[in-house]
Amino acid sequence: MTEPNAVESTPERDGTVPAAARGEPTETINEDAYLPEPDERDVDATVLVVDNYDSFAYNLVQYVGELAAEVIVVRNDAVDVEEVRDLDPDGVVVSPGPGTPAAAGISIPLFDALDRPIFGVCLGHQAMCASHGSPVGHAPDVVHGKPSTVTHDGEGLFGGLPERFEVGRYHSLCVERTDLPDELVETARTDDEREVVMGVRHETRPHVGVQFHPESILTEGGKRMIWNFLKLCERWENE
């Protein structure tokens, strides 16, 4: 797989916070769990990662880069929608980040403007929902570096994964299921009495989102979810 390409130079990032300081386990799960055999993993797709000024973005870049043909990285305020169209990626990943979707540069406009595959992660998931009019409000509990068990519909991103699995959550905002419009379908939720929305997909566009972090060491099968998205990009490219 190729090394990520940056469209422009960016300021030096903050140092990565050690896992122990974030309250995460220092022993990682098997990142390759649920992936196909090594000779079947490479996906012929070029993916643009929109960095919402978050250290987790480059964990996503690493995972995508291990599986995709090419990765391009841009900051959320470094390009506009037309420049993204000119780059012509097969798919887009909108990364986690601080703050609200409204302050996340091109994150919301991308979901409005593009018909190609887009994968929103955490803040990116909230941007996807906000682009369809869903209010983004305070989560029932603030969760940063905590695992939760989720259930899901077994389709799309969640193909090939167990019915229930652990995910890493890092968010204080969320979208309520009662606020989802008809065109957004809930695909995952926490396996508890709160049933917080953990995943959505668009009914007709190849847009998907998850509130948790597939790139976190707390998430079981995160790389499989990214592979599933890349296969969606590959199919879209070949249609």
Residue spans of the domains in the chain: they are 5-9+30-238
CB atoms within 10 A of CB 171: 19
Do the strands 164-174 and 137-152 form a parallel or antiparallel pair, or are they unpaired?
A: antiparallel
* pLDDT on residue 16: 37
* pLDDT on residue 6: 45
202 among known catalytic residues: no
CB contact set of 140 (below 8 Å; sequence gap of 6+): 174, 194, 196
The one-letter amino acid code at 190 reads: T
CA proximity to 120, closest of 140, 133, 104, 135: 104
CB 232 within 8 A of CB 91: yes
CB contact set of 67 (below 8 Å; sequence gap of 6+): 1, 41, 42, 43, 223, 226, 227, 230
CA proximity to 122, closest of 190, 234, 215: 215
193-200 contact pairs (CB < 8 A, 24+): 194/140, 194/141, 196/139, 196/140, 198/148, 198/150, 198/152, 198/167, 199/125, 199/150, 199/152, 199/157, 199/158, 200/125, 200/128, 200/129, 200/175
Distance CA 118, CA 236 (A): 11
* pLDDT on residue 10: 32
Distance CA 158, CA 221 (A): 9
Say what the pTM is: 0.88
* pLDDT on residue 32: 86
* pLDDT on residue 13: 33
215 among known catalytic residues: yes
233 among known catalytic residues: no
* pLDDT on residue 12: 31
Single out the catalytic residue among 207, 213, 233, 234: 213
CA proximity to 125, closest of 186, 80, 83: 186
Which residues of the chain, if any, have pLDDT below 70?
1-29
Q: What is the third-level CATH fold of 5-9+30-238?
A: Rossmann fold (3.40.50)
CB contact set of 116 (below 8 Å; sequence gap of 6+): 89, 90, 91, 92, 206, 233, 236
Single out the catalytic residue among 24, 122, 220, 234: 122
* pLDDT on residue 11: 31
Single out the catalytic residue among 24, 70, 215, 220: 215
**Adjacent-strand bridge partners of 209:** 120, 200
25-28 contact pairs (CB < 8 A, 24+): 25/217, 25/218, 28/217
CB 133 within 8 A of CB 176: no
